[in-house]
Amino acid sequence: MVEEIKKTLIDLLKASVEVLENEVSTIRPKDSAGLPGGLILLKDSLPTVIVPDLHGRTAFLPDLLKSTIHGSTVIDLLQRDAVQIICVGDGMHGEGRVRERWRVAYQEYQQNFNDCPAMDEEMSENLSTMMKVMELKRDFPSNFHFLKGNHENIMDENGNGNHTFAKFAAESTMSKHYVELFFGQEVLSTFYRFEKNLPLLVRGEGKLISHSRPDKAYALQEIIDYRKNPQVVKGLTWTRNSTAQAGATVEMLENIIGTTSGEKYWFSGHTPITGKFQFFQSENLIHFHNPLQRNVIFLNPGETFKSEKNIFSVPEC
């Protein structure tokens, strides 16, 4: 598995890093150091597809691209600059569907991955998923955006807005060790650079999108300057409902989008739900990450979110 994908992976990493480090300011305003900041500005004239946490579901994005919207496939719409896609992050680490595999992989990790079919399978899914993300970012730089989630932490870093992740095993520690052991330092360090260049927040007509809800209200410039504000990185990638400051989403919706008439919503993944979505009316907040379903949100320009018409399930192709 390793030799088959190593060259393709490093090529895609380098290509996507090049795109991320040179995004145009009309799409991604520059920070105070002149680098692309933490904010993405949507093209309000285009329909938007919002994709929840991927977590190694390798077929999710390919099947989305083959899906039909308004009589055209999503990939055709991308090629015609007729749609934009936002992924809310968390490309790595299978969740409950592979709980038992993580248990076996942890035993393999304790043996330094000398024989590791379970971890091979896990990392094959993770890396294939992220390679598709990188390919799309390379090919459609202004119409495809992948946000940083709390699982974008290939170095198993504790600090700079990151924390190690351990749910069913020692997922982030094991992933770092695997990549370093089988792919080498160049892949590991370039992957880290890729993650560090991912944006945090998307602003569009009547909407903000991030991986998690914010832990508190942040000023727009703090988000743009995310590289020197690790608390912003943590606050937009790790926050659960129980730790969020009440009213933070509404305050940011008003301050960042403006007080013009019309409904405004904050869309986020991160928190697993059952059903298609969970709406917090007092926060104008919509969670839509169901790890057992493949639901995405599709919004036409000027359209107000209605769950019955704006959420659809990506079929298997």
Structure tokens at 158: 């504790």
Residue 134 structural domain: 2-313
Average pLDDT over residues 228-248: 97
For residue 205, is it left (φ>0), alpha (ψ between -120 and 50) or beta?
Answer: beta
User: What are the tens digits of pLDDT across the range 13-43?
Assistant: 999 999 999 999 999 999 999 999 999 999 9
pLDDT score, position 261? 62
Percent of the chain exceeding pLDDT 70 equals 99
Total number of domains constituting the chain: 1
Q: Considering only residues 259 and 72, tell me which one the structure prediction assigns the higher pLDDT.
A: 72
Q: Considering only residues 2 and 206, tell me which one the structure prediction assigns the higher pLDDT.
A: 206
pLDDT score, position 56? 98
256 band by pLDDT with thresholds 50, 70 and 90: very high
309 band by pLDDT with thresholds 50, 70 and 90: very high
Q: Is residue 60's pLDDT more than 80?
A: yes
Average pLDDT over residues 308-312: 93
pLDDT score, position 161? 97
pLDDT score, position 205? 93
Matching residue, tokens 């599709």: 298
User: What are the tens digits of pLDDT across the range 100-154?
Assistant: 999 999 999 999 999 999 999 999 999 999 999 999 999 999 999 999 999 999 9
**CATH code at position 120:** 3.60.21.10
For residue 56, is it left (φ>0), alpha (ψ between -120 and 50) or beta?
Answer: left
Average pLDDT over residues 213-242: 97
Q: Is residue 267's pLDDT more than 70?
A: yes
- Average pLDDT value over all residues in the chain: 96
Q: How far is 278 from 265, CA to CA, in rounded Å?
A: 12
Percent of the chain exceeding pLDDT 90 equals 93
256 with 39: CB under 8 angstroms? no
Q: How far is 151 from 87, CA to CA, in rounded Å?
A: 13
pTM for the full model?
A: 0.97
